[in-house]
Amino acid sequence: MHAPGPALRLHRRHERRSRASGRRYGYERSDTDWRAIADDPDIQVVSVVIANSLHLEVVRGLIEAGKHVLCEKPLSDTLASARKMADLAREASSVVRIGLTYRRQPGVAAIRDWIRDGTLGRVLHFSGRYWCDYGCNPMAPMSWRYKGPMGSGALADLGSHLTYLSEFLCGGITAVSGGAFATAIKERPVPLGAVVGHGLAAVSDRKETVENDDYAAFTAFFGETRGSLEVSRVAAGYPNGLDFEVFCENGAASFHQDTPSQVRLYLNDDHSGRNGYRTVNLGSDPLTWPVACRSMSPVSVSARTRVSPTRPGPSWRRSRKSRRRNPCPATHPSTKVSTTWKSSRPSPGRPRTTESR
C-alpha cells in the first residue's frame, strides 16, 4: 500500500524482519516499538495486527495518543481485556473500530436484505460453520495462535467472524448453550526462528503443548431463533471455508465464501413440483450495475439485457483483455445491446437476479 505521508510497518520484536517487510511492501519506515508510532504526530490512523494478547496495551496507548485505530479481531485473548477495550473505544475521541468485514460480501448483504424486506422474512434457524486448515499439519510450528486460554483458539480466530455474521442476520445473541471445545493436535514443534502468519518454518526437535482449541461448537439463542455454530482450524482441504444457511418463514438461503457474489435461494411460494434451491448470481441485472455502466434510468423500468457480438469476436485472450479495459456491456465498442423491457418493476421484495436451477 502506498499513501501520502509516512507509511509504517510494525514488527514488535524482530528488527531484521521489520526492515525486510518494509522493503518488500514499499513502506517508508519500519519500527519495532509501537510507542514510536504513537508519538509521531504525522501518523493519524493505525492498524493493529499483532498477537491478541498484546492488543489491550497497544490500543490503549494509541487511543491516548489520539490516533484512529483499526484493531484486528479478536479484540483480545480474554473476555476481561476485550471488555476494557470496548470501554476505551466508547470513550475515545477518535474513531476506533474492529476488523470484521464479511458483512460487506455481496451474498451476505443480499441475504440480509431479503430477511428484512420480507422476501425471506423472520429467521427460524441459523446454521453456520467456518472451517480452515491452517492448523491441520501437526508440523505447523508453535506460535502465539496456539497459546492462551481455551476459547482463544479457533473460537476466537474464526468464531468471531461467524458469530458476528449470525448476529448481523438474526439479531443479537441473548444466550448460548452446549459449548464444546477440542484440541486435536496436542503438541507442536518449536520454530527455530520467527513465524509469520500461517506459514511453515524450520522447526526444532523440541515440542510445546497447545493450550487452546482447534475446534469449537455451540448453540446460540437469538431471542426465539436458534442457531448452531461450528469452527475448526484443522479442517484439511478448507483454506477459508465460511458457509452458512438461514431457514426463514418464507424460504431459505445459503452462502459460501468461495463464491461471495453467488447464493442459493429457496422460496416457499414457488410452484409445487418446481420449487427447490436455485443458484442466484448477484449483480447481473443492469439495475445493480455501477452508475457509470447504466445506460437507462432505473426509476420506472426493469431491464433484461442480452449482449451479442456484431461480428466474429477476437481470440479469447484478446476479448478477455478488452472486457477488463471496458467491463460495461452497454458501452463496449464491439457489442450491441438488445434490450427487452417489462412494463413494470418486479413485485416488492422479490430478488431481481439471474437465476439458474
Judged by DSSP in three states, 56 sits in helix
pLDDT for 206 equals 95
**115-131 residues labelled b (16+ CB within 10 A) or e (exposed):** beeebbbebeebbbbbb
40: CB partners within 8 A, 6+ apart? 6
CA distance 8 to 254: 40
- DSSP class of residue 312 equals -
pLDDT for 41 equals 93
Instruction: Name the maximum alpha-carbon separation found in the chain.
Output: 73
pLDDT for 201 equals 79
- Residue 336's identity, in one-letter code, is K
- Positions in the chain whose pLDDT score sits under 70: 1-14, 270, 272, 284-357
pLDDT for 151 equals 85
* CA 14, chain centre distance (Å): 29
Radius of gyration of the chain (CA): 25
Cell 438461514, located at residue = 246
> Which tens digits make up the pLDDT trace of 188-222?
999 987 777 777 778 899 999 999 999 999 999 99
